[in-house]
Structure 1
Amino acid sequence: MQYKWVALSNTTVGVLMASINGTITIISLPAIFRGININPFNSFQYLLWILMSYNIVTATLLVSFGRLSDIYGRVRLYNLGFAIFTIGSILLSLTPNQGDLGALEIILFRVIQGIGGAFLFANSAAILTDAFPSNERGKALGINQIAALAGSLIGLILGGILSTINWRYVFLVSVPVGIFGTVWSYLKLKELSKPNKTEKIDWLGNTLFAGGLILILIAITYGLLPYGSSQLGWGNPYVIASLVSGVGLIIGFLYAERKVKYPMFRLELFKIRIFAAANIASFLRSVAYGGLMIMLVIFLQGIWLPLHGIPYSETPFWAGVYTIPLMLGFVTMGPISGWLSDKYGSRLLATLGMVIVGIGFLLLTTLPYDFNYLTFALMIFMIGVGNGMFASPNTASIMNSVPPQHRGAASGMRATLQNTGQTMSIAIFFTIVIISLTSSLPSAIQNALIQAGAPQLVPYAQHIPVTGALFAAFLGYDPVKTMLSSLPAGVTVPQSAIQIMEQRTWFPTAIAPAFMYALRNAFYISAVLVFIAAIASALRGVEVKESVRK
């Protein structure tokens, strides 16, 4: 077997493992939270960290690991990533405690997974670029995308099945894949790059970059949590201080990288027009798109599925199933666009892909909250097709534009911008939705309670955190039953009112108009960002063949 196919198959296993882990965790969160006895109404900060800790760690470490791979070898660090990721998965399945301690243990083990994932993501594209000639890289990256989408679909299905048996099984799924991938990568992958061990590690740059990015991402995360009487924490002095300090460290990092002899972040690569434009387009696309899946899942689980008779306990699984068209669009176009980009270049495909995604976002703004599913499925399929047109051509364009000795650093920089954009996207989507619900949800619930015949609940319902209600619906909890179970002793509610409130349509109908208004605002912002990404993509210029660049 030609080595390029060995490299492709091994990196594909890595992508498959990581993508299974991503969707299986989201779909299985209800079972995980019930398994460790966590109440989302007052512990939703744990949900945020379980969701975002992995991305924060990978975003922080990708550039550093990419640079280290140029010094010590891409295959060596890629192999290490497989092993670390597998260890993290084993630890997650063995989480010994419950309650707050159990949640903290899961977060810690997710961080370990993130370290392994950073080694994998920082080097997989570089390994493929080393193994494949420039006229086949788009195709190779497109095949990787098929694995990513296949893994996402497998994760949705396995998460729905395994979480009903035992929540620990959802983390064990990655273990056999990880063990196989670790052994195979150690036996089969070989170093085609030329590690330059004479270069030194940029400790100053690593420290400034990691510290700055961690502080910024932590500020973004805690900005979503209530502070005082506010439903959001953006006014929290610690959040403001963390954000300002993080930005200051990043500014210091950019200054330091111009002065050190062996910088970890090759700023000179941004002088390459294709590299700069493609990375800007990728970052904007990630900011616009990264939070879409979670928002759609929350909307389906909290509103649309209950309105259509699905019990709250079953909504997490069906929400995953109903978002499959988004992934199918991606997997349909991903490999085709990669093959076409090898023949005709990346600029037109990537630009057109972003235009299609932008139109898709605008179409989503026209949906009522009780929409026809076929219309919704076609819209998200369209967005998936646009993303499939963009992803592999854009990545191939980035990797083809840099000298071979800097491919590890370039791959890490690309992945860092992408992961940072995704984390920012989740924060932006949540912020828009929470701000909108904060102003409209209390009055909506108040009116609904009065109409149901339970005005005595109004004072208690108005103190429910918007984020708590939002995440309770996301996790498949019945918000009404959760609210009733937390009432003080002595507060009685007429049985007729309880019967009305426990109807599956009561709570979704109360919050749907406000939530849909918030989503429309988020979709408008995403559309603007994606259209700007299309402009950046179009400005990348004409690609130069590798033989000419050398």
Structure 2
Amino acid sequence: MNSLDTNPQPVAAPATLNGKIATPDRDPHYKWVALSNTTIAMFMAAVNGSIILISLPAIFNGISLDPLTSFQYLLWILMGYGIVTATLLLSFGRLSDIYGRVRLYNIGFAIFTAGSILLFLTPDTGDAGAIELILFRIIQAVGAAFIFSNSAAILTDAFPPDERGKALGLNQVAALSGQFVGLLIGGILAVFNWRYVFLISVPFGVVGTIWAFLKLREPAYQKRSQKIDIWGNLSFIGGLTLFLVGITYALLPYGSASMGWEDPWVIAALFCGLLLLVAFPIIETRMEDPMFRTDLFRIRNFAFGNAAGFISALARGGVMIVLIILLQGIWLPLHGYSFESTPFWAGVYMLPLTIGFVIMGPLSGIISDKYGARWISTLGMVLVGISFLILAMLPYNFDYLPFALALLIMGLGNGMFSSPNAAAIMNSVPPEQRGVTSGMMSTLVNSGFVLSMGMFFTIIVVGLTGAFPSMLSAALTAANATQILPAMSAIPPTGALFAAFLGYNPVHMILAGLSPSLLATVAPATLATLTGVIWFPTTLAQAFMPSLALSFYIGAGISFVAALLCAMRGDRYVDGIDGTGPKGDSSTDPQEVSGENVK
């Protein structure tokens, strides 16, 4: 028997009812209560995560921030949420196994709702307002960490093994759908008032919180007295926080450099973070009650499923941001859309990605329930890799049909991967370990997303730093405006990237700062060219597209690695159906499920 396929020992036997795992409620309708409530929570958290991508122009205007000088606030508003959730998920999952998954999930729902209300009420403007937004987003992130770390475990407890893929698929469809619904809602609400962007989460939060407290029940599984793993928590949270914060600040300019990779504080944060993360598994093997059972990695579906989940998140985590930059800053203006309207239309033109996921998310879950996750998840990641290759070959002024096709293929591929992979991981562990397993799975995915954003931003900023000045000079020469080259060179590569992300033309601000005598030397026709919707997007595209294509090629390669890991996961395996653990090698017998034949 392969050691990867054995059940880690010792584990507490799950509580059973007539040979079956005890569910939180013997009412056959309970599973649908659990699914609907966790789906509302995932949808709400996803809407809140993406709605801010589209609404940042309105938010920055609402709190009176200068977009060209506030890149650090952009990064923290975008990435701070992910950093906090990534660092807390594993600890919260472990605590949930000790104190109750439903209890901590309910607390998280309430915290998230409180954070939404605080964001709506943000009192200050300027730098103070930006800091308040970041702090309130962190409060939201704490609540989201409770939700993310327990949703999959609650569903796994509520649904029988042959329906878990379907349930997790529907749950994840709601999450991804929420991301794109957030883009549309954000584009609409931001027109009226930026505060409405945060208010939209409050009704979902209030209803969902009350419903969760009234209806959700703790599962019946054996527990034992356990201690909180203080050293494990400190090493993991400290290490991951330092590492992700170092990645974030490396994206900011340092001195004359366009990025901060040479900043001593960044180097120190990355080094200390890696040191603590390396120490974490060593500490865990020496703890009586570790926050994470490292021997769970002996389970093949757990090990390869989590590895594939992390790698896939690394490939696709930054995709949405770079596609929004491409659409808002380049493609939409070139097709006649005003800079002010591009945030909303970017969400509309990315709908094929949502449609693909909505189609395949539930369907792939049903298929994996019947045939296992191995090959459908593998094919899904192959399709994601192919979609990256299609995107990499498109010019900046592409026809929409191949772009939409690439997004549809990416959505279909992600739908084929996500729910089968999650179901395979959750099915593979003992019931009393599902909280920490859900936390670990979400931790790896969220960490992959944050690292992916750092990776994509780094590739693009490095490319822009080398190419943007020469492209800017050539474009000004072609427009007969070389006299304003020194002033226009004040647009840093990160500023150009930020402008594209927010969907606005920074040329207006640069020209407004010129002296009247210098501005008088520029012909009116030239000024009209520079401030139009064509000149800046075309100039940016010449510098942006090579690095964007490189990032897509890297994303394709990473996706194919994730596909290989999916193929190595083995076949169907569900722990604890009869409370005895696995018998035989699950990687060779697709019907072997804890010693029972599932047909």
Q: State the TM-score, normalizing by the size of structure 2.
A: 0.90
1:152 equivalent among 179, 184, 196:
179
Structure 2 distance, partners of 1:59, 1:387, is 20
**Superposition pairs for residues 272-421 of structure 1, below 5 Å?**
272-421=299-448
Aligned to 1:86: 113
Question: In the alignment, is the contact (CA less than 8 A) between 1:145 and 1:331 conserved in 2?
Answer: no
TM-align CA RMSD? 1.3
Letter in 2 for 1:329: G
Closer, same or farther in 2 for the Cα pair 1:432/1:193, shift >3 Å?
farther
Q: Comparing both structures, which one devotes a greater share of its residues to helix?
A: 1
1:270-300 Cα shifts (integer Å, max 9, x gaps): 1111100010111000000000011000011
Query: Are 2:540 and 1:511 aligned?
Result: yes
Cα deviation code 1:314-373 (max 9, x no counterpart):
111111111111111111100000000000000011000001111111111110110000
The 5 Å alignment of 1:108-119 reads 108-119=135-146
1:93-123 Cα offsets, whole Å, 9 max, x none, are 0000001110000000000000000000000
What is residue 37 of structure 1 aligned with on the other side? 64
Q: Deviations over 1:196-246 (max 9, x none)?
A: 361010011101111110100001001111111111111111101100010
Map 1:91-130 → 2, pairs under 5 A: 91-130=118-157
Q: Distance in 2 between matches of 1:482 and 1:265?
A: 52
Give the equivalent residue in structure 1 for 2:569: 540
Post-superposition offset of 1:545: 3.7
**Pair 237,348 (structure 1): closer, same or farther in 2 beyond 3 Å:** same
- Is this contact kept in 2: 1:123–1:412, CA < 8 A? yes
Which amino acid letter does the alignment assign opposite residue 555 of structure 2?
Answer: S
Q: 1:195 Cα deviation (Å)?
A: 6.7
1:72 equivalent among 92, 95, 99: 99
Query: How do 1:134-153 and structure 2 match up within 5 A?
Result: 134-153=161-180
Residue in 1 aligned with 2:15? Answer: none
Matched residue of 1:472: which SS? helix
Q: C-alpha displacement at 1:485, in angstroms?
A: 2.5
Question: Which residue of 2 is the match for residue 175 of structure 1?
Answer: 202
**Deviating more after overlay: 279-288 vs 506-515:** 506-515
Deviation digits for residues 457-502 of structure 1, max 9, x if unmatched?
2122223211111111211221211222234675425233211101
Q: Which amino acid in 2 is paired with 1:425?
A: S
Match of 1:445 among 472, 477, 487: 472
Q: 1:487 to 1:149 in 2, by over 3 A?
A: same
Residue correspondence of structure 1 range 45-60 to structure 2 within 5 A: 45-60=72-87
29 and 197 in structure 1: CA distance in 2 versus 1, 3 angstrom threshold: farther
Measure the CA separation in 2 of the matches of 1:527 and 1:193: 43
Mapped to 2, the partners of 1:360 and 1:502 lie a distance apart of 35
Name the SS for the 1:135 alignment partner. helix
Q: Which has the larger radius of gyration?
A: 2
**Aligned mates of 1:73, 1:195 — CA distance in 2:** 12
Larger mean Cα displacement after TM superposition, 540-549 or 166-175: 540-549
1: distance between equivalents of 2:288 and 2:274? 23
Return the alpha-carbon distance in structure 2 between the equivalents of residues 402 and 99 of structure 1. 49
TM-superposed deviation, 1:513: 2.3
Question: 1:9 maps to which residue?
Answer: 36
SS at match of 2:161: coil
Task: Supply the distance in 2 between the matched residues of 1:534 and 1:14 (Cα, whole angstroms).
Answer: 29
Work out which of the residue numbers 249, 266, 274 in structure 1 matches 2:276: 249
Q: Distance in 2 between the 1:99 and 1:487 partners?
A: 24
Is the contact between residue 329 and residue 504 of structure 2 (CA under 8 Å) also seen in structure 1?
no
Whether contact under 8 Å (1:73, 1:195) holds in the other structure is no
Conserved? CA contact 2:361–2:416, under 8 Å: yes
1:204 and 2:231 are equivalent in the alignment: yes
CA contact (8 A) 1:351 1:538 kept: yes
Distance 1:472 1:193, change over 3 A: farther
Q: Does 1:467 align with 2:467?
A: no
SS of 1:198's equivalent in the other structure is coil
Aligned partner of residue 103 in structure 1, secondary structure: helix
Q: 2:58 & 2:35 partners in 1: Cα distance?
A: 35
Identical-residue share of aligned pairs (%) = 58
Paired residue type of 1:524: Y
SS at match of 1:136: helix
C-alpha contact (below 8 Å) 2:371/2:572 kept by paired residues: no
Structure 2 partner of 1:261:
288
- How many matched pairs? 550
Q: Distance in 2 between matches of 1:539 and 1:143?
A: 25
Q: Which residue does the alignment assign to 2:20?
A: none
> How far apart, CA to CA, are the structure 1 residues paired with 2:540 and 2:220?
56
